[in-house]
Amino acid sequence: MKNDVTNMFNIDLPIFAFSHCRDVVAAVSKAGGLGVLGAVGHTPKGLETDLQWIENEIGEKPYGVDLIVPAKYAGSDDGGLTVKQIVEMIPKEHIEYVNQILESYDVPPLTDNPKGQFDILNEKAAPMSASTAAPQLEIALAHKPTLIVNALGPPPQFMIEKTKEAGKKVGALAGKAQHAQRHVNAGVDIIIAQGYEAGGHTGEIGSMVLIPEIVDAVGEVPVLGAGGIGGGRQMAAAMALGAQGVWCGSVWLTTEEAETHPVVKEKMLSATSSDTIRSKSRTGKPARQLKSSWTDEWENPETPMPLGMPLQPILINEAIARIDRAAHREGSGAEKLANYFVGQIVGTMNKTKPTSQVVYEMVEEFIEATESIASQLEE
C-alpha cells in the first residue's frame, strides 16, 4: 500500500499498533506496520531496556513511543505534583472505600509490601504528568523511534519542539474535530481520530462520525482512524471515511505475545462487545475497560465517586496490584474484580493468535472488503 502515511514512515502497511508489550510492538513493525510502545507504566530504566530490545529486534524498521501528558490535571500548572503531595490530597473516605472493596472481596495483602497502601509515599513526580513524561521523552529521543505520540490531549510545547529538533514526527489522539485542529495548530504531524468505541481514554463521538469530521478539519495533515478497529473491514471503513491508516490497541491484548494478565485475557476472549464500560475508576478520566466487579463498585451512586487524575491512580495503585496478584485463584473475589482497558472490538477477540497473524488477516480482510465494494460499481 502507498499513501502519505506509508511514505511518511517508510512502512508497507498503514497499521499502527499501540501496546505496552515490547514483543507486540516488534512483531507489528516486523510484519510491515508500525508498533508503538506505550511508555506510561515504564520506569526510566525499564523504558531504556525495552527500547534497546525493540531496536535490536527490528533492526532499521520504524517504531514509535506513546507518552501520556494530559492537558489538565491536579498540579498541571506547576508540571505536576509529587506522589507525597497527592497522597495528602486524597480524602479519607476514598481510602476507606478502597479498603472496604478489598476486604469485602477477600483480597489478600501483598506479602512483600509490609508498609501498606501508600508505601510509594515519596518526592517522586506523579504518573501521567509533564514531570514524568519529560525524562521518558529524553530517553525516547536518545533512541531511534520515528514517532512520538501524546495519548491524552495536545502534546506540550516542549514535547513538540524537542521531538522535531530530533527529526522525528509528532502524533496526538483527538476525540473531537476542534481538538484535532488545536493539535495541528500546535505543530502535530499526524492525528489519531479515536472514536467512542476505543479502549482506554476516549471521548463520546463514534468513529463513523468522528473520522470524517477530523479529516475535513485538518486539511492535508494525515489522519489515522482508531476505535472499534480490529479487522480489515473496519480498516476499509476507516479509510473510506478519509483516514490514511489505522491505530489499533485492543486487538493485540489477546495475542500470544501480549503480557495481559492471564485471567483478564480469558475474560476478554469470552467477552461480548457489550462487556465494556467507560469508567473513571482506574485513571480519574473516562477510560473504556472491561466490566467487572471493580467497575460495578465504582458505578454505585451511593459510594464515593472516583477522584480526578492523578489522584485516582495513586489511590488505587496498591489495590490493583493486590487484585492482579490474587486473581489467579478461580472463583476468588480478586478474579471477579480483575479488569483492564479494552475497546468494544473485544467481542471479536475470541481466539489467541500470533501478532503477525492478526496483521496478515487484517490485510487479507481489507483486500476482500475493498474488492467487494469495487465489484458493486457499474462499469
* Rounded Cα distance, 327 and 321, in Å: 10
Sign of CA dihedral 357, 359, 361, 364: negative
Q: Is the pTM of this model over 0.85?
A: yes
Pairing relationship of beta strands 169-174 and 190-194 according to DSSP bridges: parallel
Secondary structure, 3-state, the chain: CCCHHHHHHCCCCCEEEEECCHHHHHHHHHCCCEEEEECCCCCHHHHHHHHHHHHHHHCCCCEEEEECCCCCCCCHHHCCCEHHHHHHHCCHHHHHHHHHHHHHCCCCCCCCCCCCCCCCCCCCECCCCHHHHHHHHHHHHCCCCCEEEECCCCCCHHHHHHHHHCCCEEEEEECCHHHHHHHHHHCCCEEEEECCCCCEECCCCCHHHHHHHHHHHHCCCCEEEECCCCCHHHHHHHHHCCCCEEEECHHHCCCCCCCCCHHHHHHHHHCCCCCEEEECCCCCCCEEEECCHHHHHHHCCCCCCCCCCCHHHHHHHHHHHHHHHHCCCCCCHHHHHCCCECCHHHHHCCCCCCHHHHHHHHHHHHHHHHHHHHHCCCC
State how far the Cα of 38 lies from the Cα of 55, in Å rounded to an integer: 15
Mean pLDDT by 10 residues, the chain (379 residues): 96 98 98 96 92 98 88 53 84 96 95 57 55 83 96 83 95 96 95 97 95 97 98 98 98 98 98 98 96 97 92 92 96 98 98 98 98 88
Write down the pLDDT at residue 127. 58
pLDDT of residue 121: 47
Residues 6+ apart with CB under 8 A from 87: 118, 121, 314
**The pLDDT value given to residue 72:** 52
C-alpha cell, 181: 485542529
Domains of the chain and any CATH numbers: 4-72+126-258+353-375 (3.20.20.70), 76-124+259-337 (no CATH)
Residues whose CB is less than 8 angstroms from the CB of residue 237 and which lie 6 or more positions away in sequence, other chains included: 208, 225, 369
